[in-house]
């Protein structure tokens, strides 16, 4: 591995103009992440992005070799693009956020609070780390906190447009505006996002999330899980149904102290998707009854995904931050 300069690593963000890429930029600034160079890439050039009081140009990534001069490259891009970059091993440590959409591979899964830094091995230039789906991470944290290894779990994940990228956010805005004005027209094979609930690709996404939960909590049976896309711009909600037993009386106390959880007391108003935006914690409320319990969990998926990626870079030892994570 080549030496990293005193000012920190040379960083590339591929997909810098997307929902996760923009969150990465914001967290790098907020956490005081030290770097010697920061360069932004996207599918096309010509844009600029404001960061830390200055305007950074966005370059087109024409080939994986464009990343060879960097120490770390965050891949906040579709899986096909990330796969092409990863297969060529251009040089930097690759932190692949597209791994959130598929079952875990042989590479380490960077999940703060669930995977110890030493379990990531000794990542270096030419290595690869993957990040989990934020919903898989949230489920693993909640299930692990409750210590319900033998409970039957039924899970429904409600994904907003931002969980599927900035293009879907823009499509939802356009379709909603058109629908409200009475002129909604869809292209052939285009799905209606506005005022609609979809389960397209639900089985594939659910299988990936389920496999990641099992990887993170190997002693827990795989939950029954369904993914649904809802017509909200931002935020992800998770509904967890589980059987209540003798230990359920201890669940509120466990959730109050769970890592990365913000427990909303039963007498308080349940949180909404809007409450989760900008949060790095998972908002959780609990409703217990004799026949079972329901957990209502909310999170800002792009922000958590960016947080996982930044934690992976910190765990790799490239650049400590001024604020610990």
The CA distance from 293 to 154, in Å, is 11
Does 167 have pLDDT greater than 60? Answer: yes
Secondary-structure class of domain 135-301 per CATH: alpha beta
CB 194 within 8 A of CB 172: yes
pLDDT of residue 248: 82
Percent of the chain whose pLDDT exceeds 70: 93
Mean pLDDT over 296-310 rounds to 96
Does 277 have pLDDT greater than 70? Answer: yes
Sorting pLDDT into bands at 50, 70 and 90, what band is 279?
Answer: very high
Lowest-pLDDT choice from 2-6, 41-45, 139-143, 273-277: 2-6
Sorting pLDDT into bands at 50, 70 and 90, what band is 4?
Answer: low
Secondary-structure class of domain 10-131+304-315 per CATH: alpha beta
Does 231 have pLDDT greater than 90? Answer: yes
Mean pLDDT over 145-173 rounds to 88
Sorting pLDDT into bands at 50, 70 and 90, what band is 122?
Answer: low
Mean pLDDT over 144-151 rounds to 79
Sorting pLDDT into bands at 50, 70 and 90, what band is 203?
Answer: confident
Tell me the backbone φ, ψ of residue 30, rounded to 5 degrees: -65, -35
The CA distance from 141 to 256, in Å, is 12
pLDDT of residue 243: 82
- Torsion, Cα 229 212 302 90, to 10 degrees, reads -120
Mean pLDDT over 261-277 rounds to 94
List strand residue ranges (DSSP E) for the chain, in order.
Answer: 10-14, 37-42, 48-51, 54-60, 72-75, 93-96, 128-130, 153-159, 224-229, 236-242, 261-263, 282-289, 292-299
pLDDT of residue 1: 38
Mean pLDDT over 31-38 rounds to 90
Q: Which two tokens stand for residue 21?
A: 């890429």
pLDDT of residue 69: 93
Does 111 have pLDDT greater than 80? Answer: yes
Mean pLDDT over 161-179 rounds to 93
Mean pLDDT of the chain: 89
pLDDT of residue 323: 40
Provide the b/e sequence for 90-100 (b: ≥16 CB within 10 Å). bbbbbbbbbbb
Mean pLDDT over 37-44 rounds to 91
State how beta strands 282-289 and 261-263 pair: parallel
pLDDT of residue 325: 37
Residue intervals of the chain classified under CATH 3.40.50.720 are 10-131+304-315
pLDDT of residue 317: 80
Contacts of 6 (CB under 8 A, 6+ apart): none
Report CA 141 to chain centroid distance, whole Å. Answer: 14
Q: Which two tokens stand for residue 103?
A: 């079952």
Residue intervals of the chain classified under CATH 3.30.360.10 are 135-301
């Amino acid at each position: 591995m080549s030496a990293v300069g005193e000012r920190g690593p040379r960083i590339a963000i591929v997909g810098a103009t997307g929902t996760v890429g923009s969150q990465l930029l914001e967290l790098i600034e907020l956490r005081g992440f030290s770097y010697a160079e920061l360069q932004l890439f996207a599918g096309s050039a010509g844009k600029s992005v404001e960061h830390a009081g200055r305007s950074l140009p966005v370059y087109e990534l024409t080939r994986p070799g464009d990343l060879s001069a960097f120490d770390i490259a965050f891949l906040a891009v579709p899986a096909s693009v990330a796969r092409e970059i990863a297969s060529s091993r251009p040089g930097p440590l690759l932190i692949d956020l597209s791994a959130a959409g598929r079952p875990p591979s042989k590479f380490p899964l960077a999940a703060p609070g669930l995977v110890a830094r030493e379990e990531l091995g000794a990542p270096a230039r030419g290595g690869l780390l993957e990040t989990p789906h934020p919903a898989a991470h949230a489920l693993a944290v909640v299930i692990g906190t409750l210590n319900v290894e033998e409970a039957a779990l039924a899970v429904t994940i409600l994904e907003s447009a931002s969980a599927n990228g900035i293009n879907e956010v823009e499509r939802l805005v356009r379709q909603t505006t058109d629908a409200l004005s009475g002129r909604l027209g869809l292209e052939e094979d285009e799905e209606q996002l506005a005022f609609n609930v979809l389960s397209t690709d639900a089985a594939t996404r659910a299988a990936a999330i389920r496999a990641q939960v099992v990887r993170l909590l190997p002693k827990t049976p795989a939950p029954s899980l369904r993914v649904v896309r809802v017509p909200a711009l931002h935020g992800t909600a998770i509904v967890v149904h589980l059987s209540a037993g003798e230990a359920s009386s201890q669940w509120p106390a466990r959730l109050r102290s769970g890592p990365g959880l913000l427990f909303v007391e039963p007498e308080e108003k349940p949180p909404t998707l809007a409450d989760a935006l900008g949060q790095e914690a998972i908002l959780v409320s609990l409703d217990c009854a004799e026949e079972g319990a329901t957990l209502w969990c909310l999170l800002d998926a792009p922000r958590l995904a960016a947080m996982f990626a930044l934690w992976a870079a910190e765990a790799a030892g490239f650049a400590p931050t001024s604020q610990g994570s």
